[in-house]
Structure 1
């Protein structure tokens, strides 16, 4: 399994499969330790049972990180190619689950300029206001400000990406640095 970095296309599928494997291995280790203790001492009251119980905590942590990602959808190849075609010099990231204080919001794609983040999700239940305010708060803590918009309609989103690319001024070096800082901050906020 080739490693996929956060923000790259296919990251969510990679992370889901990796977390599932970690969860299965962790619970298998717990089960093996418990069974070995039971075979050796012919009782569940032994030190290996105690060790197995303690090892349930990291196994549960892996399970939680897997179950958090399950409801979120991956970006498809068609959407990626449509974004790449329209984004021009803007940065793009894919397959992110953005964490916040209440509940994570999955975004299929985001295009970042020096003054805005345009994100897209196909999830009907995604909380637009929660996503926008939590990203703005996080950026404010990073000493960055920009407009944050979450779209649920693909055609509207692609049109906004095209307009943002046309309005982006490549000649300003400050714009390029700022665009990268905002992209890095969004990636740090994501799972």
Structure 2
């Protein structure tokens, strides 16, 4: 299980595996402590039971994180490869689960170029308007004013917009790498 960084394709899948294995291991330790304590003292009132109860806290936290990320899927490999080919000059991030105070919104891919941020969400439960507004407000709050943010459910429309943005960068030879990296970092900070 190779570690994936946030924003890389396959991150959600890796995160699910990590949380599932961690949850099973931590609860196994808790159960082992309870059984061992009972076998040694023939009563459940012992120090190992107390340690096991305290050990339930991190195990439960890991279980909650697994339950939170479990319904979400990683981006499909062919979609990822197509976006990589069409957006070669743009900043790209994949496998995002954007968390706002009101909602959890899975987004498959986001492409950043200058003052434009566009995203593709294959999950129909992701509200395009709410997600775009949340990202725009977050960017405004962090001194990235006049940003255009659009989230698409329609993959063809998203891909044509990506191609257009890539062509503009290619023809104009404008590269705003530092700004794009800052926007990418802010977007990743809102994700699980």
Q: Normalization by structure 2: what TM-score?
A: 0.92
Mapped to 1, the partners of 2:110 and 2:174 lie a distance apart of 22
The residue that corresponds to 1:163 in the other structure is 164
Mapped to 1, the partners of 2:82 and 2:173 lie a distance apart of 25
- 1:88, distance to aligned residue in structure 2 (A): 3.3
The residue that corresponds to 1:151 in the other structure is 152
The residue that corresponds to 1:52 in the other structure is 52
Q: Normalization by structure 1: what TM-score?
A: 0.92
Written as runs of structure 1 = structure 2, the 5 A alignment for 1:52-71 is: 52-71=52-71
| Count of aligned residue pairs for this structure pair | 190
Say whether residues 1:11 and 2:11 are aligned partners: yes
- 1:78, distance to aligned residue in structure 2 (A): 1.1
Q: CA RMSD in A?
A: 1.6
- 1:172, distance to aligned residue in structure 2 (A): 4.2
Stretch of structure 1 that moved more, 7-16 or 43-52? 43-52
Mapped to 1, the partners of 2:32 and 2:180 lie a distance apart of 49
Mapped to 2, the partners of 1:186 and 1:149 lie a distance apart of 14
- 1:61, distance to aligned residue in structure 2 (A): 0.8
Aligned to 2:95, the other structure's residue is in SS state: strand
Mapped to 2, the partners of 1:44 and 1:27 lie a distance apart of 17
Mapped to 2, the partners of 1:138 and 1:42 lie a distance apart of 57
Stretch of structure 1 that moved more, 69-78 or 139-148? 139-148
* Residues 86-132 of structure 1: CA deviation (Å, up to 9, x unaligned): 11311111111111112221111111111122111111111223312
Aligned to 1:95, the other structure's residue is in SS state: strand
CA contact 1:114–1:178 (8 Å) conserved in 2: yes
The residue that corresponds to 1:189 in the other structure is 190
The residue that corresponds to 2:130 in the other structure is 130
Could you say if the C-alpha distance between residues 44 and 130 of structure 1 is closer, same or farther in structure 2, counting changes exceeding 3 Å?
farther
- 1:171, distance to aligned residue in structure 2 (A): 4.0
Written as runs of structure 1 = structure 2, the 5 A alignment for 1:71-86 is: 71-86=71-86
Mapped to 2, the partners of 1:109 and 1:172 lie a distance apart of 22
* Residues 123-179 of structure 1: CA deviation (Å, up to 9, x unaligned): 111122331222223222322232221111111111111112223376445x22111
Aligned to 1:43, the other structure's residue is in SS state: coil
- 1:16, distance to aligned residue in structure 2 (A): 0.9
Q: Which runs of 5+ in 2 are unaligned?
A: none
Stretch of structure 1 that moved more, 85-94 or 161-170? 161-170
